[in-house]
Structure 1
Amino acid sequence: MVLPPPAPATRPTPPLLAPDGSVREGSAPHGPVSPTFAPLTARPAHAVPGFVASLRSRGQAPAVHTATRSLTYAALADLVDEAAVTLGAGRRLVLLACDNTLDTLVTYLGALAGGHVPLLAPGDRLHHLDALVAAYDPDVVAGRGDEGWRVVTRHEDRTRGEGPHDLHPDLALLLPTSGSTGSPKLVRLSHTNLDSNATAIAEALGIRPDDRAVTSLPLHYCYGLSVLHSHLAAGASVVLTDLSVVDPCFWELADRAGVTTLAGVPHTFELLDRSGFADRHHPTLRAVTAAGGRLDPGTASRYAELGARRGFDLHVMYGQTEATARMAVLPPELAATRPGTVGRAVPGGTFRVDPLGELDCGLGELVYSGPNVMLGYATTPADLARGRDVHELRTGDLGRITADGLVEVVGRRSRFAKVVGLRIDLDHVERDLADEGHDAHCVDLGDAIGVVLPEPGTGPAATEVLRRRHGIPVGAVVALDGQSAPRLSTGKPDYPGMAELLGAHREEQDHATEPPSGDRLEAVVALYRELLDTPRAGAGTSFVDLGGDSLSYVEVSLRLERVLGTLPAGWHLLAPAELVAAADRAPTRSGSRLHRVETSVVVRAVAVLLILANHTHLSFVPGGAHTLLALAGYNLARFQLTDRPRAARARGIARSALRIWAPSAAWIGVVALVAGTYDWRNVLLLNQVLGDWARWSPHWHYWFIEALAALLLGTALLVAVPAVDRFERRHRLALPLALVAVGLLTRYDVVVPDAGPYRGANAYVLIWLFATGWAAARANTWPQRLLVSAIPVLTVPGFWPTMPTRAATVCLGLLVLIWVPTVALPAWLGRAASLVAGASLFVYLTHFVVYPHLMAYSSVLAMAASVAVGVAYWQLWLRVEAAAGRAAHRAARVARLLRRAT
């Protein structure tokens, strides 16, 4: 079949080759561009990996899918044969600047089919490509130029016969060591390595001919390449894409192509969490694999349980480039119960543990043996002529083998770190920094690389070197400059001492505020630190990661729009770096006077205006407060019930309740002192518990705020229960539906039948309405939306027998939330709605004092004044919160300094 194209959303790849076919300026001399593909006439005798040699024999079975086309194995074999001819005669060293496209795939397989030795590197890391060209002087360079895919022969006088390199007959592939891409150190892999690992992985994962793997990882990365090899070895197919798993177009393509296999590193699972993967169903997905670093056991258990519900298996794996990618697989049936292990060796491989020193406690360095162990390393072109000089792989990882034969990795023995899926050689990083003029020492901080530099002010430059030369994100580097590295008595660097020093520096950074710069990423981070009162905000922490809630959502979104111009859907789930990138990709609205506003914002603004209109007698359309209560449940699910740990969830919800109580208590307390309208029960939001239910009085003005705070606190206590928390994570829609069912018992007076004459203001009677809003946020499919839509339609009418208009307002508000994600409004009206929505709590608080004094003159004036006073109180409170936050951080910092001094 031919797949229809998805919406245009691709990542541009920087050109490697100039329009004339030359390697970029500064590279070694080059020859003319290779000729157009020609039919294969003869193939020299040489070893070819089995998964390449068998392409044509698989005939019309599907092999490759892209967004616009599909290829059978026979068609792919034709292209591979043509690519082999284009790369030239003899055995050549082919530097391949990779992207996840058909051009890369065909050229790579063509190099293997033609007996050449491909050297893979990322096509968007030009500095690395320069280093590899300079170090190994490849015969051919292939990559994406300004005019498309280019294959360049660099040695005109060697286009016949053998190339300039002496390539060992067993040598099949060269891969940079993971995390050291662009350095001269390469892993030498043989044809046997490639074949044995491809078949072992296919067997371990049970890959079938009808499987389809999507390129969620780069093809130049050993893990991503292993996915390709194992699927071709099994006669399965691959879906090529450069899109990220957070991009909706990625999932549109995956579902359209029937993807069955998804591979990821730990960072991929963080992105999946942010993208709402757990709330979607991808019917063809049957296997999710995890490698490239230690997957958090909690995440592994969660995804194993999610897979059990959704029909896919989680395969936790362990590997290194030196073993042709993957060495161990954890059986999926153990992923939920043994998530701290990485399983057993792949077929043909074995592990042993070499004890550390004389003490044998079962813990030691993991040593792996098998046919997938590399030939050895290469650091110069002369090493390419060497045969095998490595027979087993000393992984450098500390681990043990359990009684039931499972491998458990507990740490690193050598100077390597794993950050965002990259295996980083810290010694190599230090050498690169020295090349750039930085006398630096590096340590592993677990989730980041720590750098100590003696020269003041060099931290940002060193961080940029790590980003540019090693692909380490800025947020994964902790740099301390102006500090000499501590040393042992022997004069050697004291790396444990450095780790302690950097840890203290990192803690101080977490509590330090930095002024925003002109850079948009830094401006977003600074904005989060200011508005969310979270100095720990960084390039990798999203709005929900930082505890953002519905109270801060509107203010943050308004300020972000000023910085970014537009906000993508689901922006609150994206880290600042991803948010800026998504805003850059978003289409501009030049010439358009309409502005897309989230429906929840519009509903909040309209609801509070309806309350004002009713109270000022401008109109009579009741139901605004109850709509806001349902909206509170909706926002609870969006902002608080994320994939944070259970304790963080409970604290976040309780904090939201506190952020409602604090400005309410302050305002009500002042009014109580000045006017005597309220008392201490109102200040504590306890009038529903301790007040007079027999008659309506001003003490009941704030029933909505009391009910909201009580429902939030109740939810915080509920999700603090481990069993409930686990149930909610597994059954995102089931829990709110269960609460709706429980709430209907009080709504229909089945339990606590006498709720008083003002039952519509009682928190425990309104549980069902709050939970319906929660369910509305969890309904992601048409059947789910229809199910949740039925709840207000069937249960809201009749709750207020004498006020059918109130029921209609609440039903309409909920249905709009369920079915209409955004609303197009004139830009000025969108900004006004956002302003009123952001101040809605404060407008509700203050309007009881404002409107009675103005109604005699004009209902419109009374309503406008109520909005103005509420907005003013909102802005004042934001400044009070910011000042209190700064004072708290200063006090905490002083306390830490005093503790250190003592």
Structure 2
Amino acid sequence: MSSPRIAAHLNGFGDRTAIIGDDGHELSYAELATRICDFANRLRAEQVSPGPGGECRATEPVRRLVAMAARNDIGSLVAYLGALEAGCAVLLTGSVSDEMLRVYDPDIVVESGDGAIPEPRRRRTGSAHTLHPELALLLSTSGSTGSPKLVRLSYRNLLANAESIAEYLDIRETDRAATTLPLFYCYGLSVVHSHLLRGASLLMTSRSVLEPEFWDDFRCHRATSFAAVPYTFDLLERVGFERMALPRLRYITQAGGKLDPDRVRHYARMGARAGWDFYVMYGQTEATARMAYLPPGLAATRPDCIGIPIPGGSFSLEPVDEGGDELVYRGPNIMMGYAESPAELALGPQLTELRTGDLACRTPEGLYRVIGRRSRFAKIFGLRIDLQRIESGLAAAGYTVCCTDDAESLVVAVTSEDAAAAAQLAAQLSGLPVSAVRVCTVGEIPRLPSGKPDYPAIRRLPVARSRPSANVRTLFADALGLDTAAITPEATFADLGGDSLTYVALSVKLDRALGQLPANWQTMTVAELESLPRRKRRFGRSLDTTSLLRAAGIITVLGSHIGLFVLWGGAHVMLAVAGFNFARFGVTPAPAAQRLRKTLRTVALIAVPTGLWVALTLAFTDYYGWQNVLLLNKILGPQDSPTAGHLWFVEVAVYFMLAGALLLRLPLVDALERRAPFWFAMAVLAVALIFRYRSFDLYAPHDIPFSPLAVWFFVLGWAGAKATSVPQRALLTGVAVLTVPGYFGESNREHLVLAGLLLLIWVPSVRVPALIAGAAALLADSSLFAYLLHWQVYPLFGKHHILALTASVAAGIAAAQLMGRARNVTARITVHHRPVRRMLESVLDGPDLRGRLMSQFRDQQIARNRLAGKMIE
């Protein structure tokens, strides 16, 4: 890939596919070469034309400095390669800033826009610069051009690095890489260079790995690899990458910063199971991207190492004054040098070795391991501060942080509202007084387009102000029965085991603490909730519609049974709410096994108290039968029992949740649901609606609405939770309007049910007076127990219906409070009591669950050791 033979090299691959764009448009190598030549023609002073070998020829080419804002699209790629073909030096960036124009005064500016090949904007005829003959590319060391300091790279650098990468990755003509990183970032650019060198192809996309369309294109176009920085893996976990079916995936590469060894090991083992390789790599822009790689076979056993030098390169370790040995690299991909002004663009190669700034050691197996960073030390109050050690200590305590300094203080950006606690811990770890620690709370750590921390932006952050409201982590811990240390910033309510039974109480407490709770709070991370601004309360409190419907539903059911009034239909609305909550908390992006465990836990929290209460009643009455204890009356009968319908709602809700969870445990079904959640739910609804019109003589006509055949209400709620657009909600509304009327044969019941369904579909939350919000939340939280106990409570009050309703509700609330405390105590005993832990370890078959529990125990112990200053470096 040396100028001016780029087009000729690419033309040699003929009609083979080179690029596939976001819109699915394919470009062959021959077409790409032609477009590169055409663009080169625009940049040269004289007209040029492709030669017989595909190369571009001109009589007197003029070398110019081209500032180019590149995107991940075909137009940007053609412009970049065309500028190199024309012999220009390219300053590649994400955006052409005023500072760049002032400092470097480029001859031509190229700004990509809609994916089409951009039009060069000439700022002068000829060139105002003297450019070294070997200078090809100028890149920022950070993947951005916020600083005028640039890395000068030659054609030889680009070619040598591309050849090395292509060799150790064994890039083949059949490979196709998705462009997950910016083109102007050296790592992302190296993917392009190495694949075009070998005649492989590129899926040029600007989509994020968070977007389902990215994975649709990845599968459709048979991509075989993608590149990732540490932050990418946070995103992959959000989208349930582990459960994705990617049959063409051959390998994943990781660079751009150190990935936690546990994660390296996890992804290496995941790849071994799925049939793809995991390459951990090490590099810097100063080395044109790569200096080392860890062979995939060693990633699971030596996840803390950067590996071995790339082909053509070598390392040495040289002592430094600070202590330890600095990693020094030698190879043909070392930059020509830095540039901080246009005059330095005329300089030739100035380096024979690259001092990486990393402290490293060499293992007995010949692998290199980075153990620190020279530049990650700060001098504050005369103390030498190891910023990386402080970050590690804070991370072990559950904080997501990034540390830097501003010459006078230690600056800590943290995704937590508990600024005071973070400052205290940072002071302990650094040996500085708390007054020398400036903590800044953020929703997310500021990052450059490369995914690396944006240290200048962090230094500009305002200091965090203390917040008087309750700590979000404490509220989560209290509601879920967990230790605060187990509430990590990246976790969501669903990740931490939250379900519909704990959702209500926590939502009210969070709304009180935050002033106004977002409707989708259960999908937000703890860090995102902590970073929300405390809003001045407008009116009352925000109440989730499902909580409102559960509260209203239980009152209508109890009041109708007692005879205080007649408002039938609340149970079927609550059945739809159960489906809605099942979809919200059980059908998440989490791995399938984790989803099943969560649903089983929710089912147990419903079935166990119900079974225990029914069993208790058998001791002093024949009110129920043994079938009721097992929640099987609707299946085993007797159907003519006086109490046959008393627990129908609990029974069928349990059936439906179990059936849905087991269905989604099937790999093919799981993949279909993740691909199109709403349309999958609609397909299930279409099947369930068969029982709306056909009973197959399974139940008597009057029993049909109170049997498992009412499953379609549950699935209606499921689909409602997955409806994310107005057309989807409108479609579901049409289904409800067409199917509910005529089902019960009672217009009042049907109107009430339909009203509840429409609220569930269209209104995520309502604002009500604080007193009503608190009462509704209390009722919703205790609805199961109020339903169970009212059968035994209200007959005690005879015709005193209001008193009977009050007593039934009070009994339910008391039972719910007692059960909640018991669950919290049990959860904490499970976490802290070693015999219980050992028992769980011996009983639990699920390796994922056992590993998750033990990981929490280990992380807590590490945090305690580090906080006590006992961590072994």
TM-score tier, shorter chain, comes to 0.5 to 0.7
The one-letter amino acid paired with 2:365 is D
Task: Provide the residue aligned with 1:135 in structure 2.
Answer: 103
Instruction: Could you tell me which runs of 5 or more consecutive residues in structure 1 were left unpaired when the two chains were aligned.
Output: 1-45, 417-425, 431-440, 464-471, 487-494, 511-521, 581-596, 665-680, 708-742, 749-756, 882-895
- 2:217 pairs with 253, 260, 263, which one? 253
Q: Render the CA deviation track for 1:175-214: whole Å, top value 9, x for unaligned.
A: 1112673212222212121111112211211222222211
The 1:317/1:252 distance shift into structure 2, 3 A limit, reads same
CA drift of 1:85 comes to 2.4
The one-letter amino acid paired with 1:244 is S
Work out the CA distance in 1 between the residues paired with 2:615 and 2:689: 27
Residue 239 (1) aligns with residue 203 (2): yes
CA drift of 1:108 comes to 0.9
With structure 2 as the length reference, what TM-score do the two structures score? 0.61
**C-alpha contact (below 8 Å) 2:592/2:670 kept by paired residues:** no
Residue 450 (1) aligns with residue 403 (2): yes
Work out the CA distance in 1 between the residues paired with 2:35 and 2:491: 44
Q: Secondary structure at the match of 2:334?
A: coil
Task: Provide the residue aligned with 2:751 in structure 1.
Answer: none
- 2:16 pairs with 57, 61, 78, which one? 61
The one-letter amino acid paired with 2:207 is L
Q: Render the CA deviation track for 1:272-294: whole Å, top value 9, x for unaligned.
A: 11122223323333221111111
Work out the CA distance in 1 between the residues paired with 2:407 and 2:150: 31
Residue 391 (1) aligns with residue 330 (2): no
**C-alpha contact (below 8 Å) 1:260/1:284 kept by paired residues:** yes
**C-alpha contact (below 8 Å) 1:454/1:481 kept by paired residues:** no
CA drift of 1:111 comes to 1.4
Task: Provide the residue aligned with 2:326 in structure 1.
Answer: 365
CA drift of 1:654 comes to 13
Work out the CA distance in 2 between the residues paired with 1:130 and 1:116: 21
CA drift of 1:251 comes to 2.1
- 1:404 pairs with 365, 373, 377, which one? 365
Q: Render the CA deviation track for 1:461-519: whole Å, top value 9, x for unaligned.
A: x99xxxxxxxx998899899999x99xxxxxxxx9847785998769999xxxxxxxxx
CA drift of 1:236 comes to 1.4
Alignment coverage as a number of residue pairs? 699
Q: Secondary structure at the match of 1:48?
A: coil
**C-alpha contact (below 8 Å) 1:623/1:809 kept by paired residues:** no
**C-alpha contact (below 8 Å) 1:53/1:113 kept by paired residues:** no
**C-alpha contact (below 8 Å) 1:194/1:324 kept by paired residues:** yes
**C-alpha contact (below 8 Å) 2:179/2:188 kept by paired residues:** yes
Work out the CA distance in 2 between the residues paired with 1:556 and 1:184: 49
Residue 181 (1) aligns with residue 145 (2): yes
Q: Secondary structure at the match of 1:200?
A: helix
Task: Provide the residue aligned with 2:91 in structure 1.
Answer: 119
Task: Provide the residue aligned with 2:264 in structure 1.
Answer: 300
Task: Provide the residue aligned with 1:48 in structure 2.
Answer: 3
The one-letter amino acid paired with 2:80 is Y
The 1:180/1:623 distance shift into structure 2, 3 A limit, reads closer
Q: Render the CA deviation track for 1:748-783: whole Å, top value 9, x for unaligned.
A: 9xxxxxxxx99999x999998765444456553349
CA drift of 1:231 comes to 1.0
Work out the CA distance in 2 between the residues paired with 1:564 and 1:211: 50
Q: Secondary structure at the match of 2:290?
A: strand
Work out the CA distance in 2 between the residues paired with 1:358 and 1:546: 43
Work out the CA distance in 2 between the residues paired with 1:50 and 1:868: 84
CA drift of 1:249 comes to 2.4
**C-alpha contact (below 8 Å) 2:93/2:144 kept by paired residues:** no
Task: Provide the residue aligned with 1:106 in structure 2.
Answer: 78
Work out the CA distance in 2 between the residues paired with 1:653 and 1:500: 48
Work out the CA distance in 1 between the residues paired with 2:795 and 2:141: 74
CA drift of 1:571 comes to 3.9
Task: Provide the residue aligned with 1:17 in structure 2.
Answer: none
Q: Secondary structure at the match of 1:269?
A: helix
The one-letter amino acid paired with 1:808 is P
**C-alpha contact (below 8 Å) 1:228/1:238 kept by paired residues:** yes
The 1:655/1:528 distance shift into structure 2, 3 A limit, reads farther
- For residues 620-631 of structure 1, the aligned pairs below 5 Å read none
Work out the CA distance in 2 between the residues paired with 1:267 and 1:643: 23
Residue 210 (1) aligns with residue 174 (2): yes
Task: Provide the residue aligned with 2:254 in structure 1.
Answer: 290
Work out the CA distance in 1 between the residues paired with 2:472 and 2:369: 36
Q: Secondary structure at the match of 1:55?
A: helix
CA drift of 1:233 comes to 0.9
With structure 1 as the length reference, what TM-score do the two structures score? 0.60
Residue 170 (1) aligns with residue 134 (2): yes
Task: Provide the residue aligned with 2:120 in structure 1.
Answer: 151
Work out the CA distance in 2 between the residues paired with 1:503 and 1:279: 46
**C-alpha contact (below 8 Å) 2:71/2:206 kept by paired residues:** yes
**C-alpha contact (below 8 Å) 2:36/2:85 kept by paired residues:** yes
The 1:641/1:389 distance shift into structure 2, 3 A limit, reads same
**C-alpha contact (below 8 Å) 2:618/2:624 kept by paired residues:** no
The 1:826/1:620 distance shift into structure 2, 3 A limit, reads closer
- 2:194 pairs with 186, 209, 230, which one? 230
Residue 82 (1) aligns with residue 38 (2): yes
**C-alpha contact (below 8 Å) 1:543/1:575 kept by paired residues:** no
Work out the CA distance in 2 between the residues paired with 1:833 and 1:480: 33
Q: Secondary structure at the match of 1:404?
A: coil
The one-letter amino acid paired with 1:73 is Y
Task: Provide the residue aligned with 1:586 in structure 2.
Answer: none
**C-alpha contact (below 8 Å) 2:419/2:440 kept by paired residues:** no
Q: Secondary structure at the match of 1:316?
A: strand
Residue 808 (1) aligns with residue 758 (2): no
CA drift of 1:83 comes to 1.8
CA drift of 1:530 comes to 9.1
Residue 376 (1) aligns with residue 266 (2): no
The one-letter amino acid paired with 1:130 is D
CA drift of 1:867 comes to 9.0
CA drift of 1:52 comes to 5.2
The one-letter amino acid paired with 2:343 is A
Q: Secondary structure at the match of 1:293?
A: coil
- For residues 691-702 of structure 1, the aligned pairs below 5 Å read 695=621
Work out the CA distance in 2 between the residues paired with 1:768 and 1:653: 12
Work out the CA distance in 1 between the residues paired with 2:317 and 2:6: 33
Residue 415 (1) aligns with residue 305 (2): no
The one-letter amino acid paired with 1:87 is L
The 1:60/1:640 distance shift into structure 2, 3 A limit, reads closer
- For residues 771-810 of structure 1, the aligned pairs below 5 Å read 771-776=658-663, 779-782=669-672, 807-809=707-709
Q: Secondary structure at the match of 2:205?
A: coil
Work out the CA distance in 1 between the residues paired with 2:435 and 2:268: 35
- For residues 556-567 of structure 1, the aligned pairs below 5 Å read none
Q: Render the CA deviation track for 1:585-610: whole Å, top value 9, x for unaligned.
A: xxxxxxxxxxxx99x99997899689
Instruction: Could you tell me which runs of 5 or more consecutive residues in structure 2 were left unpaired when the two chains were aligned.
Output: 46-61, 380-384, 396-400, 444-465, 479-483, 533-543, 637-643, 675-679, 724-728, 734-757, 824-863, 869-873
The one-letter amino acid paired with 1:248 is P
Work out the CA distance in 1 between the residues paired with 2:501 and 2:22: 41
Work out the CA distance in 1 between the residues paired with 2:247 and 2:145: 36
The one-letter amino acid paired with 1:841 is D
CA drift of 1:163 comes to 3.8
Work out the CA distance in 1 between the residues paired with 2:555 and 2:272: 46
Q: Secondary structure at the match of 2:120?
A: strand
The 1:75/1:296 distance shift into structure 2, 3 A limit, reads same
CA drift of 1:246 comes to 0.8
The one-letter amino acid paired with 1:409 is R
Work out the CA distance in 1 between the residues paired with 2:309 and 2:664: 43
Work out the CA distance in 2 between the residues paired with 1:578 and 1:152: 46
Root mean square deviation of aligned Cα = 6.7
Identity over the aligned pairs, expressed in percent?
A: 34
The 1:331/1:603 distance shift into structure 2, 3 A limit, reads farther
**C-alpha contact (below 8 Å) 1:185/1:378 kept by paired residues:** yes
The 1:231/1:378 distance shift into structure 2, 3 A limit, reads same
Work out the CA distance in 2 between the residues paired with 1:92 and 1:73: 26
Q: Secondary structure at the match of 2:188?
A: helix
